[in-house]
Structure 1
Amino acid sequence: MLTLTSPVEIWAHRLPAGVKLAAMALATTGLFLMGSPLGLGLSALATATLYLAGGGGFAMTGLRLLRPLWPFVLVVAAWHLWTGDFAGGAAVTLRMLTAVALANFVTMTTRLSDMIAIFQGLARPLAPFGLAPRRLALAMALVIRFIPVMLDRLAQITDAWSARSARRPRWRVLVPATLAALDDADRAAEALRARGGTG
């Protein structure tokens, strides 16, 4: 739970964490400033190339991490098809998939300890205001780590519901998903305490 770093080591593992996070921030900002479906499509293609450069196994892992996004993609696509805004729907879908794929790429190729160190350095100016940089950095790193895990858990619960009922799950999966999130948070807290806490 505390790490989603890919066991398949590729060239990006050797890049400094700060460089990857800065590149991701710039790329994501560019995605939201870009409105052309063509430009967003080229960005998605470039992101796919990043994954493929790591080999088939690495690329397939990245593709599996995008699986929880498909319900959102279908909702966005259906809405824009209904309104007739095909270009807008394509832009939103490509932007969402590319942004999440880039975040997953950084997560898969960066150790949690390196990410914490970066965030801790960024949070150091907040120390005079009573905010512990180490704890704040750990919280930010865990948020990044937990988002894909929680999306995957929600997809598993939805699939389990669909296998047992013909009705659509909708709001019915919220309670088990919330309980699963709390359970995962409790396990992560126990793991942190076993390793000496946040320091």
Structure 2
Amino acid sequence: MMSVYLSGDSWAHRLPAGIKLVAVAIGSLLLFKTEMLWIFLVCLALVLAAYGSLGRGAIQRLRLLKGLSIFLAAILALHWLSGTVMDGVIAILRLCVMVLAASFVSMTTRMDDMLTAVMPMFRPLEWAGFSARKPALGVTLVLRFAPHLMEIFAVLREAYQARTGKRSSWRLIAPFALQALKMSDNVAEALAARGGSQGLTQK
């Protein structure tokens, strides 16, 4: 399984995990409040510039958008049929910016740092006698591996296109599900080997 975290000592790696997560959350909320095309174009340019600042390894992660291409095309087609193409373009740009921003946080933040940043949200559970670490771990894993799953789908699409000449097919659902299950097993085994959530390390 390819590593989600991209090792380095860039400006993005040095930023505290909490700041990055809050920035993405606030940015996502603000993007849902606007319909101005130029704002989305500026945000997309900034996110792409952030990727570029990390070098080739980060730029290669942009292929995760290929995994979204079918979904994006469906959104645009629906808006075209309803006569609201511009709304479809804005929806696509919004989704691309949010996905790329979330992936950027995942690849520049160690998992234990992300878990530490998420933990305070679940501290109230401890007052009722429940574990705050387990739900925090669940949220962290979702934030961590959702972009990775899109990368897996993009790789499967490329392989399918190379074999058949077709861009995509429903037949990709089965191998994608198998890859997702395999990844979940690998993560579970890694956690178990490290003593469960208490033994979580940077990857």
- Secondary structure of the structure 2 residue equivalent to 1:46: helix
Per-residue deviation, 1:186 = 0.9
**Counterpart amino acid of residue 109 in structure 1:** T
Name the structure 2 match of 1:194: 193
- Contact 1:2/1:142 (<8 A) preserved: no
1:128–1:34 Cα change, 3 Å:
same
- Decide whether aligned partners of structure 1 residues 26 and 184 sit closer, same or farther in structure 2, where only a CA change above 3 A counts: same
Partner SS for 1:6: coil
d(CA) in 1 for partners of 2:64 and 2:158? 15
- Hey, what does 2:34 align to over in structure 1? 34
CA-to-aligned-CA distance 1:3-49 (integer Å, 9 cap, x gap): 51212431011111111111111101111111111221122122222
The 1:169–1:64 alpha-carbon spacing in structure 2 relative to 1, beyond 3 Å, is closer
* Deviation (angstroms), 1:142: 0.9
Percent identical residues = 36
Does residue 145 (structure 1) correspond to residue 144 (structure 2)? The answer is yes
Alpha-carbon distance, 1:75 to partner: 2.2
Kept in 2, the 8 Å contact 1:62–1:101? The answer is no
**Equivalent residue for 1:172?**
171
CA distance in 2, matches of 1:166, 1:48: 29
Aligned residues: 198
Q: Which runs of 4+ in 1 moved over 6 A?
A: none
Change (3 A) 1:2 1:120: farther
Q: Distance in 1 between matches of 2:168 and 2:48?
A: 32
- Aligned-pair CA distance for 1:2: 8.8
Cα distance change, pair 50–167 in 1 and its aligned pair in 2 (3 A): closer
Q: Distance in 1 between matches of 2:43 and 2:65?
A: 16
SS class of match (1:79): helix
C-alpha separation in 1, matches of 2:164 and 2:129: 51
Separation (CA, whole Å) in 2 of partners of 1:3 and 1:115: 15
Aligned to 1:72: 71
User: Are the counterparts in 2 of residues 4 and 108 from structure 1 also a CA contact under 8 Å?
Assistant: yes
RMSD of the alignment, in Å?
2.3
Aligned partners of 1:2 and 1:145 also within 8 Å: no
Q: Tell me what 2:43 maps to.
A: 43
Give the stretch that moved more between structures: 140-149 or 61-70. Answer: 61-70
Instruction: Give 2:111's aligned residue.
Output: 112
TM-score by length of 1: 0.87
Aligned partners of 2:3, 2:55: CA distance in 1, in Å?
21
Unpaired runs of 5+ residues, structure 1, are none
Amino acid at match of 1:177: F
**Gap regions ≥5 residues in structure 2:** 199-203
Give the aligned partner of residue 120 of structure 2: 121
TM-score normalised over the length of structure 2: 0.85
Counterparts of 1:184 and 1:177 in 2: how far apart (Å)? 10
Does 1:12 find its partner at 2:21? no
User: Counterpart amino acid of 2:71?
Assistant: F
Decide whether aligned partners of structure 1 residues 69 and 110 sit closer, same or farther in structure 2, where only a CA change above 3 A counts: same
